Amino acid sequence: MILENAPALAIGIPLFAAFAVFFIGKIGKRAMKAWVVAGLLAAEIFVIWLTMDAVSGISHFYAVGARFPSIISPGGFPIRIVLAADAASTLVALVAMSACLLAALFSFSFLKEKNAGEKFYSLLLLLSAGLVGLSFTGDFFTMFVFLEVVSISSAGLIAFFREEESFEATFKYLVLSSIGALLLLFGVGMFYGKYGLLNIGAIAALVAVEASFIDFAAVALIASALLLKCGSFPVHMWKPDVYQKASGIVSAVLVASGLVGIYVLFRILFLMLANTPLSAMIGWVIAIFGTISIFIGVTMALKQNSLKRLVGYAAVAETGFVLLALGTGLAAITTRDIFSFKAVVGGMFQLVNDALNIGLLFLVIAAVAFVTKKKKVGEVNGLAHKSPVLAVLFLIGLLAISGMPPLNGFASKIIIYESVYMASPVFSIVGILGSIMLLAIFVKVFVAIFLGPPYKGKIEPLPKSMLLVMGIIAFFILFLGLFPKQAIEFVFLPAANALVNSQAYIGGIL
């Protein structure tokens, strides 16, 4: 009975906790922190529960309202909202919820110094509810609602510490998010105007019968909105600015937010275009965007003086790897060959790795700023002499993001290189060169910050909560790198199957 309602509970619990945190905060700071962790942990348990079921072949579909999408209200409006928890959506929801939970644990000591509390955690809980809702949504109406929840809560977190630069980044983020929301709304309006439906599965089933220009135009508008959300070429410009000016904790969560946008994008594309002649063209366009994102992210990272901005451009490049893999898989979906499916598996693997690797780098940067009390990490050098733990954690992050063995980045990228090479050797070569350049860039940064003469300034002891969070992320980076076969068979193959097999998703929703 509880598991049947788990998709709704995974959204509802953090949503309720977000509004109740202000009342719990009146009791005391410890009670508030316990409440936040309890809310996020409860939602995390439900998502893990759903993920374990989904990867074993049991998907859960939760309907709010009418049982069938054809049933309408007296006013003619469909009265049905569906949440779909299959192997792909639960994996992405698990990444998002884990990112929010770890960010909350990491922030306890950080926020104590900043004298902040209830408002930050309320925004973080709202963001977690929005990201899980965006992962599970089975209709366009709730997709739009959850996208707005994610955008507004993210903007609040970016501007939370009330610094002049963060206000500028927030304004830019809100403007671009509003543009994306309008594009999504126009696309959804075109679908509703034609079919009188908002259910994604029902619309996909009708598009599969006879796709028209209106359908392709609607998909293009929705895809543009989601590409803007994930921060890839040609709408990548906001990402380095926001990551540079937001807190490192917030940046780590925003990475997961962008990856959820990528999942939603490809869920719609695989559903709407799998049986149409445009699947190959759209797939290659996205693969090209991914390749250009890799090139731009790496080349722009070369010239950055700000470490957070450098990692922001590295995030653009890493997003490009996911788009390259999933775009190649979409382009070759009609052939159903092993290499196209491998590209999808590599893309889902890389999506999880990006959240781990980039998230770890941002948290290490936040920890360095915390222990040294320096606003600009570039002012720090020789820190390994006084904090070898941070040096080791940063080294793990830079080797993982560069695709070095035996870490997780190597496992996912080697799958991408192999599968994409069969479709386009040029794209694969660009990806390999991009990883090599990322390694060179981050090694230079590592030497500048952690090596050289011992740091002469005073450093604060690293809080246990921060060390715990970074240790957990480093553990999973090593685990996925050392045991990729088991992770692929247990998690990523079912997720790729769920993403590619549109009929199973449509049948479950209907």
Residue type, 239: K
* Adjacent-strand bridge partners of 60: 85
Residue range 236-256: average pLDDT? Answer: 86
- Categorize the per-residue pLDDT at 40 as very low, low, confident or very high, splitting at 50, 70 and 90: very high
Rounded-to-integer distance, Cα 264 and Cα 28, Å: 39
For residues 4 and 407, the model is more confident at 407
Residue range 7-17: average pLDDT? Answer: 91
Residue range 303-326: average pLDDT? Answer: 89
Rounded-to-integer distance, Cα 390 and Cα 394, Å: 6
Residue type, 311: V
In tens, the pLDDT along 286-305 reads 999 999 999 999 998 888 87
- 127: pLDDT strictly greater than 90: yes
Instruction: Give the H/E segment covering residue 216.
Output: helix 213-230
Asked if residue 300 lies in contact with residue 237, where contact means CB atoms within 8 angstroms, the answer is: no
In tens, the pLDDT along 363-388 reads 998 888 888 877 666 677 888 888 88
Q: What are phi and psi of 381, to 5 degrees?
A: -150, 155
Per-residue b/e over 284-299, b at no fewer than 16 CB within 10 Å?
A: bbbbbbbbbbbbbbbe
Rounded-to-integer distance, Cα 492 and Cα 361, Å: 24
Asked if residue 193 lies in contact with residue 201, where contact means CB atoms within 8 angstroms, the answer is: no
Closest CA to 134 of 68, 180, 193: 180
With a CB cutoff of 8 Å and minimum separation 6, the contacts of 238 are 172, 173, 176, 231
* Adjacent-strand bridge partners of 63: 82
* pLDDT above 90: percentage of residues in the chain: 42
Asked if residue 115 lies in contact with residue 141, where contact means CB atoms within 8 angstroms, the answer is: no
